[in-house]
Chains A and B, each alone.
Chain A
Amino acid sequence: GQSLEQPSEVTAVEGAIVQINCTYQTSGFYGLSWYQQHDGGAPTFLSYNALDGLEETGRFSSFLSRSDSYGYLLLQELQMKDSASYFCALNRGFQKLVFGTGTRLLVSP
């Protein structure tokens, strides 16, 4: 089976940089995705790593290391609107995703 662990909550101030970690245990997967979800809302896609290394998309970057069973999402120039929950998700094939436990990010002024 697969399991993904994330810190339950992270706090930061506007303009700062924050890293949200995701560690996983799995026998195999195709890629690691990151989704953002505001309270009561739908998850929205942020980033995807099929290969090891860093993927950059604007203020957001995501990293994957298969040898370390580890990935992270990096958010730069934090804004108040970035306050949300962030989920990592493994693709087991045919885009069957298994989601992590989620990290609640609180951005303060």
Chain B
Amino acid sequence: DGGITQSPKYLFRKEGQNVTLSCEQNLNHDAMYWYRQDPGQGLRLIYYSQIVNDFQKGDIAEGYSVSREKKESFPLTVTSAQKNPTAFYLCASSTRQGKIDEQFFGPGTRLTVL
């Protein structure tokens, strides 16, 4: 079955530590995205990538970094520079050929900073 996987589902981090969240898709989608969701809030775009080896900052990129070395993978690193990293992180992908504006989301990673 095609889809998006994120790991781990729950992640605990000590203050001052960097942590990397995994996102893998086998939908053959060119575009991938990272969002952050805080309790009772909408999703906010952190980074996005339209093609391999290229990515752009979203609305809240400070304290985060990404890479896109393979079409299937778009890992997100939450650095110690991110002041309030506790949140629900969602990865998504989409095809650039579609007429319908649909993004497919992974199950998410819930990050808690201790």
Contacts and interface: CB of A to CB of B under 8 A. Distances in A.
B59 A98 contact: yes
A44 B4 CA distance: 12
A72 to B, nearest CB: 17
B78 interface: no
A42 B25 CA distance: 15
Contacts of B94: 95
Contacts of A50: 99, 101
Contact of B45 (A45, A97, A101): A97
A41 interface: yes
A96 B58 contact: yes
A42 B106 contact: yes
Interface string B15-54: 0000000000000000101010000111111001010000
Interface residues of B, number: 26
Nearest to B93: A95
B107 interface: yes
B48 A96 contact: yes
Contacts of B104: 45
A43 to B, nearest CB: 5
A33 interface: yes
Given A42-B90, A42-B107, A95 B42 contact: no
Contacts of B99: 50
Closest 7 CB pairs of A and B: A99-B42, A42-B105, A45-B102, A99-B43, A48-B101, A91-B101, A31-B101
